[in-house]
Amino acid sequence: MNQSVSDQRDRVSLFGIQIDPLTMKAAVDKLLTVLHAPQRTSHYVVTPNTDHIVMLQSDAAFRKAYLNAFLVVADGKPVVLASRLLGKPLPETVPGSDLLPALFTEICAKKISTKVFLFGAGPGVALKARDNIQTRWGSTLQVVGATSPAFGFEHDAPASAAYAREIAQSGADILVIGVGAPKQELWAFAHREQLNVKLVLCVGATIDFLAGEKQRAPQWMQRTGLEWFYRMCQEPKRLVRRYGKDAFVFPFIVLRDALQRTEKR
């Protein structure tokens, strides 16, 4: 595990995993520490939401990837609310779709020359995101690669190896992966020694958001924890079943944690 930079003892045990109780600013500061260090050890970041937590209960490979992550930060109001109900409060949400822009903004403010590789989203979407990043954040950030991987690449060992080589040879400092969970986390874990980057951010639909292909929920919906509903309305065929399952299973996971906490008293 990457304990040299992230102190595992500071983590909070919730839902069968360990979560870093960080604010957005604290998370960005930790990522900047990695960027300043000379080592290129592919510290990867995961952002658990209710869907991740439901999958983690039965997916051992996914749990192993989480266990080895550099940072595990809460993505979603339900996760933070549940942590407070359980007496282990997380300070706030740190969604990947907000963490990446916050990191980019701080990199530019501090004038840290940084190379970025975008890996994910549909055909051509990463290229649009690249152009928007260069327009928004200027020359401090250089996007040195923008690849939309072929469908099923994670099951194709030669293709995965080729993508890992492309990323390693690009000279990127940050790899942004947006191919969905648990695929992105499993791939980051499996190929971390071949990527030759400093940071790997597993951030789902963030590349789509940066490209303008998908829209974030209005701020009031983000603040009140309704972003999931906005996204479900955008992609009902893909998300209604998923969110329905999460809404049913997640409360039982919280109840299990509450009962275990009571038994320990």
Q: What's the pLDDT score for residue 9?
A: 54
Q: What are phi and psi of 179, to 5 degrees?
A: -120, 10
pLDDT digits 0-9 by tens, 8-60:
558 999 999 999 999 999 999 999 999 999 999 999 999 999 999 999 999 99
pLDDT digits 0-9 by tens, 30-42:
999 999 999 999 9
- pTM here is 0.93
Q: Are 197 and 208 in contact (CB under 8 A)?
A: no
Cis amide prior to 182 (ω within 30 degrees) = yes
Would you call 121 exposed, middle or buried from its count of C-beta atoms within 10 A (0-12, 13-18, 19+)?
buried
Q: In 3-state terms, what secondary structure has residue 202? A: strand
Report, as an integer, the average pLDDT of 69-84.
Answer: 96
Q: What's the pLDDT score for residue 151?
A: 92
CA 65, distance to chain mean position in Å, is 12
Q: How far is Cα 102 from Cα 41, in angstroms, rounded to an integer? A: 22
Residues 6+ apart with CB under 8 A from 219: none
Residues 6+ apart with CB under 8 A from 127: 146
